Amino acid sequence: MKFIDESKIEIIAGNGGNGAASFRREKYIAKGGPDGGDGGRGGSVIAVADRNINTLVDYRFARMHRAKNGESGRGADCYGKGADDIILRMPVGTVITDINTGQVIADLALDGERTILAHGGAGGLGNLHFKSSTNRTPRQCTPGEEGERRELQLELKVLADVGLLGMPNAGKSTFIRSVSAARPKVADYPFTTLHPNLGVVRVSEEKSFVIADIPGLIEGAAEGAGLGHQFLRHLARTRLLLHLVDIAPLHEGVDPVQEAHAILNELRKYDESLYDKPRWLVLNKLDLLENKEETVQAFLNEFGEDTRWFAISAINGEGCKELTYAIMEHLNEVARAEQDAITESAQETEIDIHDPLV
């Protein structure tokens, strides 16, 4: 299935049915009074997050989604039938934005999360509602309201705990194959990864995390070189970035330090908040080095940034287990810090509520 992470759609909720102006006419009942029913409600358009869907391909060509109108009211106190809502199932992690206003309508971050994208119009009132002691034969009724209409931008940001960052052929796909059951394409030429891949890294029976591999960046990605920045959005939700660097390039003219700095520059150009995320340096392809310690130390000295680093060989698994354990420990610390912050906030709120001076 082709991976689609962006789409534009138009949604139209159903109109409400019109109210009826009718009078009861039966044998021996000459003046039965008004009996016009209300119109039915128009169908709404609802988005639901579904973890069994991982791409927006269903919305690539089906651009128009229209709910049915409600039925009009009829005589004999008959109310019109409301139209059924239509459900749009989308991948978990979809961000829905109104194109005309730029407002984010929903961020479907949890499986089963629902949001109404467009409300159906209310049904009109029949003349039943207008009778009174002074208006015994009301002939007025109201039309149904129009349903909402919107143009929406759908943008998928995959949910992962850890994101992989690096040049093409830095070994990102090989690394994710080494530590998880994911099997992205691996080859000896650039841009073998053309769409994000997710892998579940199981550290123990009860502990695991999700890692995302995106297509590699190259210098000039901000200007559209290579695949550009189009997949960096998938790192927005991650808690940790792993910056993979090919420490043993096959071509003599390639400088690993220069390539590492080029990646960081592209990251900063795209989004400063993404650049500020916790980021570890992972020096890959140790198996191709003769003097491992000297080469690694020389790289770190020239690289200059004070950051946590690991040296691995993804092809044979050297250092990968230690790295995954460190990642799991970091994620646990982040989760504990988030939980403490939530608890502290709840306690402060409780104190404010019960404060007699409030």
pLDDT tens, residue by residue, 135-157:
888 888 999 999 999 999 998 87
More confident: 7 or 214? 7
Q: Are 76 and 18 members of one domain?
A: yes
- List Cβ neighbours of 26 (8 Å cut-off, separation of 6 or more): 32
Q: Are 6 and 24 members of one domain?
A: yes
Query: Is 358 domain-assigned?
Result: no
**pLDDT of amino acid 189:** 42
Query: Is 167 domain-assigned?
Result: yes
Q: Are 146 and 10 members of one domain?
A: yes
Between strands 240-246 and 279-284, the pairing is parallel
Q: How many CB atoms lie within 10 A of CB 318?
A: 15
Q: Are 170 and 152 members of one domain?
A: no
Read off the pLDDT of residues 87-107 as tens digits, 9 standing for 90 and up: 999 988 888 999 999 899 988
CA distance 200 to 208: 7
Q: Are 52 and 77 members of one domain?
A: yes
Q: Are 69 and 170 members of one domain?
A: no
**pLDDT of amino acid 109:** 83
Residue ending a domain, among 91, 125, 156, is 156
User: Contacts for 247-250 with beta carbons within 8 Å, 24 or more apart?
Assistant: 247/283, 247/284, 247/285, 247/286, 247/289, 247/295, 247/296, 247/299, 247/311, 248/285, 248/286, 248/288, 248/289, 248/295
pLDDT above 90: residue 12: yes
pLDDT above 70: residue 192: no
Note the helical H segments in the chain.
Answer: 172-179, 256-270, 272-275, 292-303, 320-354
Q: Are 201 and 262 members of one domain?
A: yes
- Mean pLDDT over residues 299-325, rounded? 87
Residue ending a domain, among 156, 173, 188, is 156
Query: Is 270 domain-assigned?
Result: yes
Domain that holds residue 98: 1-156
Q: How confident is the model at residue 191 (pLDDT cuts 50, 70, 90)?
A: very low
Q: Are 222 and 109 members of one domain?
A: no
Average pLDDT, the chain: 82
More confident: 350 or 282? 282
Q: Are 262 and 304 members of one domain?
A: yes
Q: Which of these ranges, 123-137, 223-237, 293-307, has the smallest mean pLDDT?
A: 223-237
Query: Is 293 domain-assigned?
Result: yes
77 SS3 class: coil
**pLDDT of amino acid 120:** 94
Q: What is the dihedral of CA 326, 165, 241, 275, to 10 degrees?
A: 150
Q: What is the dihedral of CA 161, 164, 165, 169, to 10 degrees?
A: -170
pLDDT above 70: residue 19: yes
C-alpha pair distances (Å), 351 with each of 221, 224, 339, 343, 354: 50, 53, 18, 12, 5
CA distance 216 to 170: 8
If one counts the domains in the chain, the total is: 2
136's tokens: 């015994």
**pLDDT of amino acid 68:** 94
CA distance 211 to 205: 17
pTM of the entire structure? 0.67
Query: Is 357 domain-assigned?
Result: no
Q: Are 252 and 174 members of one domain?
A: yes
Q: Are 193 and 224 members of one domain?
A: yes
For tokens 């093409």, name the residue.
Answer: 168
Residue ending a domain, among 156, 186, 209, is 156
Q: Are 135 and 185 members of one domain?
A: no
Read off the pLDDT of residues 251-278 as tens digits, 9 standing for 90 and up: 777 888 888 888 888 888 877 888 888 8
352's tokens: 């404010």
Q: How many CB atoms lie within 10 A of CB 247?
A: 24
**pLDDT of amino acid 43:** 94
Contact present, 126 and 21 (Cβ < 8 Å) = yes
CATH code of the domain in which 281 resides:
3.40.50.300
Query: Is 354 domain-assigned?
Result: no
